[in-house]
């Protein structure tokens, strides 16, 4: 595919899509019914349906019976952990293999013209973005993900929280499943904004931002505190009446979904004509500029709070003006001391 019919490449080799990125036409005033209907299939396909299906399959084939879940036992906990590790290895690894190792589409649709693996970077463990990401993903993110999952399943099995069955209230649970990505976005925006507060940023979130040019293994390359906050979205299913399959869906949405925003490519080519949109540009701009796009645009929190960057020159200018204003404030504060 010719990526220059969809965007431009600058002298450094960085590609950017034409036009502006838009937030989802869900919470807009006045409402945009036509845009909403056009957007709606993208809400489900391909990612949300994939993660919902993976949760259902996981529940049926991997999670043991409720009787077994009633007691913590090394065997079933290890089984869940290993399956999670293999699933992440295969899912993340597929993107890494195709886009970064085989470079099947070279740098077509690639936001940053450089491949992180080509340069050593002392910010990372072993000077390697990949090694750092892989160690943090399997060493910390997956144990934290699995621990939350085990705790949630144990709570359901022992009746510590209400377990609503699909037979009893299918529409209620379907409704919860439908708004789960919106809850994810709100939760993610809140924790993400919080860890951009300077002291927490230095301590926690700077680890994730070492990947200025994100690639698949950057996705869960975070400080363990951030990983815990990130996956804690699933705890909502212990607070509201829900079902363990939905809790697993929430975990899969966080765990597998993270890679989508860190692909580094705008489109994943499928042959010469077809491609899947990654919608990763929003979060790519966050990694590039740090102080814009704290959310992914499903709910326009960034627009409401003045931190939205839609990829245009006007957004650049607004961001610059905000930065100058803050610098002037900081200078004035220093001068007053
Ligand atoms: Zn990120
Ligand atoms: Zn950030």
Banded pLDDT at 29 (limits 50, 70, 90): confident
pLDDT confidence band for 219 (50 / 70 / 90): very high
Q: Give residue 66 CA to ligand 1 midpoint distance, Å.
A: 35
127 and 120 Cβ atoms separated by less than 8 Å: yes
DSSP-assigned letter for residue 163? B
Q: Which ligand is nearest to the CA of 204?
A: 2
Nearest listed ligand to the Cα of residue 302 = 2
Q: What mean pLDDT is predicted for residues 241-267?
A: 97
Average pLDDT for residues 23-39, to the nearest whole number?
A: 90
* 3-state secondary structure (DSSP) of residue 277: strand
Task: State percent of the chain over pLDDT 90.
Answer: 86
Q: Tell me, what's the pLDDT at 260? A: 93
- Whether residue 89 contacts residue 256, with contact meaning beta carbons closer than 8 Å, is answered with no
Q: How much distance in Å is there from the Cα of 126 to the middle of ligand 2?
A: 23
**Beta-strand runs (E) in 99-143:** none
Provide mean pLDDT across the span 164-170.
97
Q: Are 106 and 94 in contact (CB under 8 A)?
A: no
Give kind and range of the element (H or E) at residue 238.
helix 236-239
| Helices and strands in the chain, H and E counts | 15, 4
Please give the pLDDT value at position 294.
97
- What is the number of the ligand closest to the CA of 211? 1
Distance 233 CA to ligand 1 centre (A): 16
Burial degree of 33 (CB within 10 A; 0-12, 13-18, 19+): exposed
- Count other C-beta atoms under 10 Å from residue 79's C-beta: 15
Residue at token pair 């899969």? 252
**Ligand 2 centroid, distance to 64 Cα (angstroms):** 37
Residue 255 CA to ligand 1 center (angstroms) comes to: 13
pLDDT at 172: 98
Question: Which range, of 149-153, 183-187, 317-321, averages the lowest pLDDT?
Answer: 317-321
Q: What is the mean pLDDT of residues 172-189?
A: 97
Please determine, for residue 195, whether its predicted confidence score (pLDDT) is greater than 80.
yes
pLDDT tens-digit profile of 96-148? Answer: 999 999 999 999 999 999 999 898 999 999 999 999 999 999 999 999 999 99
The CA 189 to ligand 1 mean position distance, Å, reads 12
Separation of 221 CA from ligand 2 center, angstroms? 12
Mean pLDDT of the chain: 95
For residue 252, count other CB atoms closer than 10 A to its CB: 25
Please report the pLDDT score of residue 317 as a whole number: 93
Residue 250 CA to ligand 2 center (angstroms) comes to 21
DSSP H/E element including 193: helix 170-194
Give the model confidence (pLDDT) of 197-212 as tens digits: 999 999 999 999 999 9
- The predicted pLDDT at position 44 comes to 87
pTM recorded for the entire structure: 0.95
Distance 15 CA to ligand 2 centre (A): 22
What is the pLDDT confidence band of residue 6, given thresholds at 50, 70 and 90?
very high
Distance 196 CA to ligand 2 centre (A): 6
Q: What is the pLDDT of residue 273?
A: 86
Q: Which residue has the tokens 């377990």?
A: 163
Helix (H, G, I), strand (E, B) or coil at 265: strand
Q: How many CB atoms lie within 10 A of CB 67?
A: 8
Ligand at shortest distance from the CA of 257: 1
Query: What is the distance in A from the centroid of ligand 2 to the CA of 114?
Result: 21
Confidence label for 162 from pLDDT (cuts 50, 70 and 90): very high
Q: What is the pLDDT of residue 288?
A: 94
Instruction: Assess whether pLDDT exceeds 80 at residue 337.
Output: no
Closest ligand (CA of 215): 1
Q: How far apart are CA 214 and CA 26, in angstroms?
A: 28
Q: How far is the CA of 58 from the centre of ligand 2 (A)?
A: 30
Closest CA to 150 of 51, 220, 240, 72: 72
Report the pLDDT averaged over residues 63-70. Answer: 97
Predicted pLDDT at 334: 84
State the SS3 of 12-68.
CCCEEECCCCCCCCCCCCCCCHHHHHHHHHHHHCCHHHHHHHHHHHHHHHCCCCHHH
Give Dmax over CA atoms of the chain in angstroms: 67
Tell me the CA–centroid distance for residue 205 and ligand 2, in Å: 7
Counted residue by residue, the chain has a size of: 337
């Amino acid at each position: 595919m010719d990526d220059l019919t969809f965007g431009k490449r600058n002298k450094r080799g960085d590609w950017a899509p034409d036009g502006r990125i838009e937030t989802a036409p869900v919470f807009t005033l006045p409402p945009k019914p036509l845009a909403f209907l056009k957007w709606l299939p993208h809400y489900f396909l391909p990612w949300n349906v994939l993660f919902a299906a993976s949760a259902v399959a996981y529940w049926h084939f991997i999670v043991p019976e409720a009787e077994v879940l009633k007691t913590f036992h090394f065997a079933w906990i290890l089984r869940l952990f290993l399956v999670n590790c293999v699933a992440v290895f295969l899912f993340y690894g597929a993107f890494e293999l195709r886009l970064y190792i085989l470079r099947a589409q070279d740098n077509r649709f690639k936001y940053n013209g450089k491949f992180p693996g080509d340069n050593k970077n002392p910010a990372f463990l072993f000077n390697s973005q990949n090694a750092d990401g892989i160690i943090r993903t399997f060493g910390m993110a997956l144990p934290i993900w699995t621990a939350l999952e085990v705790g949630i399943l144990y709570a359901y099995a022992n009746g510590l929280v209400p377990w609503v069955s699909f037979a009893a209230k299918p529409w209620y649970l379907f409704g919860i499943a439908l708004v789960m990505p919106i809850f994810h976005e709100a939760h993610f925006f809140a924790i993400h904004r919080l860890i951009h507060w300077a002291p927490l940023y230095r301590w926690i979130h700077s680890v994730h931002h070492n990947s200025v040019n994100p690639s698949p293994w950057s996705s869960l390359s975070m400080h363990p505190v951030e990983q815990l906050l990130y996956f804690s979205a699933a705890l909502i299913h212990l607070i509201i009446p829900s079902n363990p399959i939905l809790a697993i869906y929430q975990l899969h949405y966080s765990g597998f979904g993270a890679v989508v925003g860190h692909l580094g490519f705008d489109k994943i080519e499928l042959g010469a004509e077809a491609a899947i949109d990654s919608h990763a540009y929003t979060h790519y701009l966050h990694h590039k500029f740090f102080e814009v796009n704290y959310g992914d645009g499903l709910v326009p929190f960034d627009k409401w709070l003045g931190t939205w960057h839609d990829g245009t020159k006007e957004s650049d200018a607004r961001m610059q003006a905000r930065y100058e204003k803050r610098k002037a404030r900081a200078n004035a504060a220093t001068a007053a001391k």
